[in-house]
């Protein structure tokens, strides 16, 4: 069973904030694969189905970002998933331009509190992650204020497109492995440039 976790904060006040890019990707993937995200289990809203021929659980943790790892740990334990090959975590990333995506098989949290808490709960950083760029915070801004803020219309459009690409990238990870997906998507420019390669 593959566990695909999109990170974000629950509640209407956080709905369209930069920090919820992970939620968007899981929602796009669920819509694409006709998986209903309705069940409340493991401190998350989950849906079960098949993606690229593999049984998957799609999850949006409801713990708030800083405790995302608690939900991920429960999901891993319940479904007995292999953390290194059967866990895909989707998060926002302020070090990537709005609309870019990047796939990694391991790595530090890079200052992201959701990833930091997952690493703390798992005890290692070797899990697949799909990062969605939300743009760098302007100078003088507090990071928390920035990631909990809303997009400009232009960036919103770029990140919506990136969420679609990230959902496709997850399908490729499941079908062909993370290396194939990294080779295809990591060099791709944002705003749809290079999509036809």
Q: Which positions are catalytic?
A: 19
Tokens 């079908």 belong to 175
Please give the Cα distance from 188 to 20 (Å, whole number): 22
What would the DSSP string read from start to end of 69-122?
A: HHHHHHHHHHHT--TTTSEEEEEEETTS-TT-EEEESS---TT-HHHHHHHHHH
Query: Beta strand 87-93 with 2-6: parallel, antiparallel or unpaired?
Result: parallel
Please give the Cα distance from 119 to 115 (Å, whole number): 6
Helix (H/G/I), strand (E/B), else coil: 133: strand
Q: Do residues 21 and 147 touch, judged by C-beta distance below 8 A?
A: no
Please give the Cα distance from 46 to 183 (Å, whole number): 29
List of residues 6+ apart from 64 with CB closer than 8 A: 9, 10
Please give the Cα distance from 135 to 127 (Å, whole number): 23
């Amino acid at each position: 069973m593959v566990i695909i976790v999109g990170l974000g904060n629950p509640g209407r006040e956080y709905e369209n904030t930069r920090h919820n890019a992970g939620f968007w990707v899981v929602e796009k993937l669920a819509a694409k694969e006709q998986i209903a995200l309705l069940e409340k289990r493991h401190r998350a809203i989950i849906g079960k189905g098949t993606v690229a021929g593999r049984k998957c659980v799609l999850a949006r943790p409801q713990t708030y970002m800083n405790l995302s790892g608690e939900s991920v740990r429960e999901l891993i334990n319940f479904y007995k998933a292999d953390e290194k090959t059967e866990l895909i975590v989707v998060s926002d990333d302020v070090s990537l331009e709005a609309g870019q995506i990047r796939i990694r098989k391991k790595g530090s949290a890079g200052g992201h509190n959701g990833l930091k808490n997952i690493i703390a709960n798992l005890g290692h950083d070797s899990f697949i992650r799909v990062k969605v760029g939300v743009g760098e915070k302007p100078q003088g801004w507090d990071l928390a204020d920035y990631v909990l803020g809303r997009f400009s219309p232009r960036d919103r459009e770029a990140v919506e497109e990136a969420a679609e690409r990230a959902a496709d990238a997850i399908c490729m990870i499941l079908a062909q492995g993370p290396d194939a997906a990294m080779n295809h998507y990591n060099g791709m420019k944002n705003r749809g440039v290079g999509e036809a390669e």
